[in-house]
Structure 1
Amino acid sequence: MSLHPVLNDKLSAAVAPGLELAATPRDVTLPPIPGKVHAVVGMRRAGKTTYLRQLQSQWRTSAEAARVVYLSFDDDRLAGLPLEQLGMLLEEYYRRYPDWRRRATVWWLLDEIQVVNGWERFVRRVMDTERVQMVVSGSSARMLSREVHTSLRGRGTETIIRPFSFREFLRHRGQEPEGEARSLAAPERSRVEQLLGEYLTAGGFPEAQGLASGLRIDLLQGYVDTVLFRDIVERRSVTQVAALRWLTRQCLKNPTGRFSVHRLHQDLKAQGLGVAKDALHAMVGYLEDSFLLRCVPLATESERRRNSNPRKVYPVDTGMIGAFDRTGRSNVGYALETVVLHELDRRQAEVGYVRTEAGYEVDFLARFHDGREELIQVCADIGTAETREREVRALEDASREHPRATQTLIVLNFDQLSLKVPPGVTVHAAYQWLLDAD
């Protein structure tokens, strides 16, 4: 069998010097763990392919161009490509560059590799027998988050590409500030606050940047439909599509809300959509696995309490909120809370929400790898004394149950920093907290 002609052409293009990629740099790095396959995952259209291209450009500055191989299998002519062609591809590469085999590291970046059935076996074999660094990526139904580690049998490490963070959003606009955000001069601070308002509405999907509202909504709704039908219905053989779509829309248009499968089951039953509770549990898991939703559990050491209490649900991106909530209500508070959650995820915190015995709720309890704990309350509109008292009281009550945690109140704008709060509560303007990571 000869090498597939399209694959042969791709290999020739992959090792040739390419044009410098003009794209917004991402604040994402591959973990420096030797001997691991780097699996770059995330929701569709978040920028995984662009990130792989950026890695290619970066690595080619420190090595011969031909030692950095980028191959995209997102080509209809490669549909049904047999697994043995990957082995032939490897051999053809080393026939072209025999002096490098097992003597110099070759970087392989394989995009949309999931189109080849059994690709995991090829990757594991190459990692065991050759001197390579391997990065794989894909966003179809056959390469979801929870399956990466299983398919690579412990040889994989995961890197998540999310929609733009606020700093990446500013960088994309050419407005990234220099120095610490807390030290910005008044004119620049006002500009950053204005852009934060745009970010909370438009979100961080790269293709959505600069689009008019109607076009952006159509684009984001199309993303959701693609996830539902390609990553869930096709992959999981879900037959109750109407129930899945209803569940998804309910979650996206009611962000930051607590939900229980029992209540959703009752609502669906009232609409004549008979779905078993187990099926609903599974659907929520599929939505999380495809990165469309992020569910936050109650922060407790008790597994029973965590499973029996409602979770809070957040969309992958704030742009989804306006795309599915057409009531015209202000969603700034929901969007700000969503942005804070995803920033905590970027900072690799373990996150839960707190509900005290007295009935007060704090948005997040964040636990970091270095042992720090932080109680975080997010409030976009804190103009009244009653609101301030309620938010601070919740933090103080939660601190009795979590005495090691610092107390943080994140407010929307700089002019709210003059709020009088009790000792022990630190107030941050949102743009400062988002840009000045500890």
Structure 2
Amino acid sequence: MISWKGRQKDLYFLKVRIRQKVVAMEEHFRDTIRQKIVDSQARAYPSFTRRDTRIPAVAGKAVAVIGMRRAGKTTLLWQLMQESEESGTGREEMLYFSFEDERLVGMRATDLQLVVEEYYRLHPRLRDNRKVLFCFDEIQVVEGWDAFARRILDSESCRVFLSGSSAKMLSREVGTSMRGRALEATLYPFSFREYLRHRSLEPREEPARWTKRDRSAIRHELEEYLVYGGFPESLGVRGRDRMELLKSYVDVTLLRDVIERHEVSNPTALRRMVRHLLANPAGSFSVNRFHNDLKSQGITAGRESVYDYLGFLEDAFLLRTVPISTTSERRRMVNPRKAYPIDMGLIGPYDRSGKANTGHALETCVYLELCRRGYEVAYVRTGEGYEVDFHATDPEGNEMLIQVCAAAADSKTLAREVRALGKAAEEHPRAELLLITMEPPAGKGLSGKVKTVQAEEWLLEELPWR
């Protein structure tokens, strides 16, 4: 039988061994962190295509780069560092640190301070003397990262950028965990301008100075862009490989950012919803109708669950939904929403019609560009039943009614689109009326209030608030 003193002795030695392990682990982390800092600061900037993402600039706030997986968030952090260096910031005053490293497994929130300590051990003259730039990638793998980020914003002279692919770095999560100390920079797949830049085809001249050859080349690239989309890694990949790659993006997002995060109990219904929404871009989506369709197919899912699934998919940046334009909250709730994938490239792998889907792909493209430009977007359905694709309000409060039509050269098609704009204008008299098309009508043939613009020209506009 073990005596009380024997137990005390065993407990003492157990504590000693635990303490030794903690110290050894801390030294291991220190060594790893120090080496990662040295390697990061010696590393040449990776080659990348410059992004036009708007980055908030408010003193005392971290910036969380958010968006769907594989959109290029890590690359954007390197771009921010390079731009800072070009503006006069020394390389030693910046740190890119990724926590997605098997050597850091087991790291706790208290260990995050080691990154700061080791950085300033290497650069002691910078502490409280220069404002340094910390870019923390995949920091969400360490539980308690948010408290650490808030603390160093208060205690160190630094700017902080955060990024990660986990659900914990999504918009709602960041807003909650950072308690008002972080602003968001939403990164989408390549815009059309970024797509052209990636292919070294970005036009240097304004549209008025494009030659016929320029126009033909840009039109061809737009047609390709509407099919293949803007996920950086997928460009240049064709055929079955591209389809499988894009489907893998969707599958990983569903598994990690939706099913695991929210403990979804009916993944069959969720996956059925995703296939339906991605195969029907720009389509009207009614929760009640979809819920009834599931029931008719013998799939059990509560109506509230379907509402939840739609919200989960938006949180994960897999798609976006657009409400009807109205001041009535009840009308907004009871009317269907229009759903758009986060990239046109996601349409093809799920569309089984076998037909070209240029019109809906173009509408999706225009919607995503409005989001990039910071517009608030809704769709319009008039009392007479006419529908306009978008009622968009820019950051300065200006309104636009936008109709997207792949081919407006046909007189009947043109008349239908213009009539809908005219009716919607009666409800939104301050709005500019815009028809975006790939095939404009011959001659002027439009109401004086309706402006028509070719899709490629509109997509390549430069705006002051971007």
Which band: TM-score by shorter chain?
Answer: over 0.9
Matches of 1:427 and 1:77, distance apart in 2: 57
- 2:147 is paired with a residue whose SS is helix
Deviation at 1:436, TM superposition (A): 1.7
Matches of 2:118 and 2:347, distance apart in 1: 49
Alignment correspondent of 2:248: 222
- 2:133 is paired with a residue whose SS is strand
Select which of 402, 424, 434 maps to 2:449. 424
Q: Contact 2:167 / 2:173 at 8 angstroms: preserved in 1? A: no
Alignment correspondent of 1:264: 290
Select which of 390, 393, 398 maps to 1:372. 398
Runs of 4+ more than 4 Å apart: none
Alignment correspondent of 1:133: 159
- 2:204 is paired with a residue whose SS is coil
Report the structure number with the largest CA radius of gyration. Answer: 2
Tell me: CA distance 1:419–1:332, structure 2 relative to 1, closer, same or farther (3 Å).
farther
- 2:42 is paired with a residue whose SS is coil
Tell me: CA distance 1:248–1:39, structure 2 relative to 1, closer, same or farther (3 Å).
same
Alignment correspondent of 1:36: 61
Partner amino acid, structure 1, of 2:212? A
Matches of 1:149 and 1:239, distance apart in 2: 26
Q: Contact 1:417 / 1:428 at 8 angstroms: preserved in 2? A: no
Most deviating of 23-32 and 194-203: 23-32
- 1:258 is paired with a residue whose SS is strand
Most deviating of 154-163 and 26-35: 26-35
Alignment correspondent of 1:297: 323
Residue by residue over 1:38-95, the C-alpha shift from the partner in whole angstroms, topping out at 9 and shown as x without a partner, is 0000000000011111112222332221110000112233233111111122122222
Deviation at 1:20, TM superposition (A): 3.3
Q: Contact 1:372 / 1:405 at 8 angstroms: preserved in 2? A: yes
Alignment correspondent of 1:25: 50
Alignment correspondent of 2:77: 52
Q: Contact 2:45 / 2:78 at 8 angstroms: preserved in 1? A: no
Output the aligned Cα RMSD: 1.3
Residue by residue over 1:118-177, the C-alpha shift from the partner in whole angstroms, topping out at 9 and shown as x without a partner, is 100000000011100000001112222211111100010000111000000000111100
**TM-score, scaled to structure 1:** 0.97
Matches of 1:106 and 1:417, distance apart in 2: 57
Most deviating of 293-302 and 71-80: 71-80
**% identity of equivalent residues:** 47
Structure 1 unaligned residues grouped into runs of 5+: none
- 1:412 is paired with a residue whose SS is strand
Select which of 308, 320, 341 maps to 1:282. 308
Structure 2 unaligned residues grouped into runs of 5+: 1-22
Alignment of 1:41-190 (within 5 A): 41-61=66-86, 62-190=88-216
Q: Contact 2:63 / 2:185 at 8 angstroms: preserved in 1? A: yes
Partner amino acid, structure 1, of 2:366? V
Partner amino acid, structure 1, of 2:338? K
Q: Contact 1:44 / 1:223 at 8 angstroms: preserved in 2? A: yes
Tell me: CA distance 1:17–1:418, structure 2 relative to 1, closer, same or farther (3 Å).
farther
Q: Contact 2:192 / 2:222 at 8 angstroms: preserved in 1? A: yes
Deviation at 1:328, TM superposition (A): 0.8
Q: Contact 1:417 / 1:429 at 8 angstroms: preserved in 2? A: no
**TM-score, scaled to structure 2:** 0.91
Alignment correspondent of 1:331: 357
Select which of 216, 219, 227 maps to 1:193. 219
